[in-house]
């Protein structure tokens, strides 16, 4: 079996920067065990798989796998998938809708970049500790714990795009913090 695989560095315009994700277009779903093995072989934080959607509510079904498990939502891999569809696979139109375990997600062209439309998740403000600031590379204005509707995570709020682009997160440190 031959599959196409794209590796995209999300949130950057520079090679070997940003947040890498693998994207694998499929014509139909493969066995979950095979999807998991492909993600393990890629050894990236996420591998996104998508197939054409049969529902009128979305254009594609989208799933994400880490090297060890399937996850309910992944922003950078969704962004990478949209990029692959727009830039490499010739998707026509300005907006792509994905059906996922977290509902319908959308990505649209936004100038030279893309804008994501994700579901709102329950969030709880948390104290900004020095270790998370060190791991992120800059102090956010606000920090939230997100638990409802997803398995969990954190949301760091910065005042503008320039501050986000300037971040140099230590992903290993973030992982040890559970962020």
Give catalytic residue positions.
Answer: 46
Name residues whose C-beta falls within 8 Å of residue 155's C-beta, 6 or more positions apart in sequence.
123, 143, 144, 146
Maximum alpha-carbon separation in the chain:
49
Strands (E) across the chain are located at: 6-10, 19-25, 47-52, 60-65, 70-71, 95-100, 103-110, 113-117, 123-125, 142-146, 153-157
| Residue 103 region by backbone torsions, left for phi larger than 0, else alpha for psi between -120 and 50, else beta | left
């Amino acid at each position: 079996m031959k599959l196409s695989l794209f590796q995209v560095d999300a949130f950057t315009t520079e090679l070997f920067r940003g947040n890498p994700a693998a994207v694998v277009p499929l014509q139909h779903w493969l066995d979950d065990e095979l999807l998991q093995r492909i993600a393990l072989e890629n050894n990236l934080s996420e591998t996104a798989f998508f197939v054409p959607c049969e529902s009128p509510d979305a254009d594609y079904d989208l799933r994400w796998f880490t090297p060890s498990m399937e996850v309910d939502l992944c922003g950078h891999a969704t962004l990478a998938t949209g990029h692959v569809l727009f830039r490499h696979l010739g998707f026509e139109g300005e907006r792509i809708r994905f059906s996922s375990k977290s509902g319908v997600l959308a990505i649209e062209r936004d100038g030279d970049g893309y804008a994501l439309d994700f579901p709102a998740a329950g969030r709880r403000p948390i104290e900004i500790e020095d270790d998370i600031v060190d791991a992120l590379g800059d102090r956010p204005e606000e920090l939230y714990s997100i638990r409802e509707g997803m398995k969990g995570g954190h949301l760091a709020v910065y005042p503008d795009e320039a501050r986000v682009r300037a971040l140099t997160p230590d992903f290993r440190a973030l992982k040890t913090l559970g962020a």
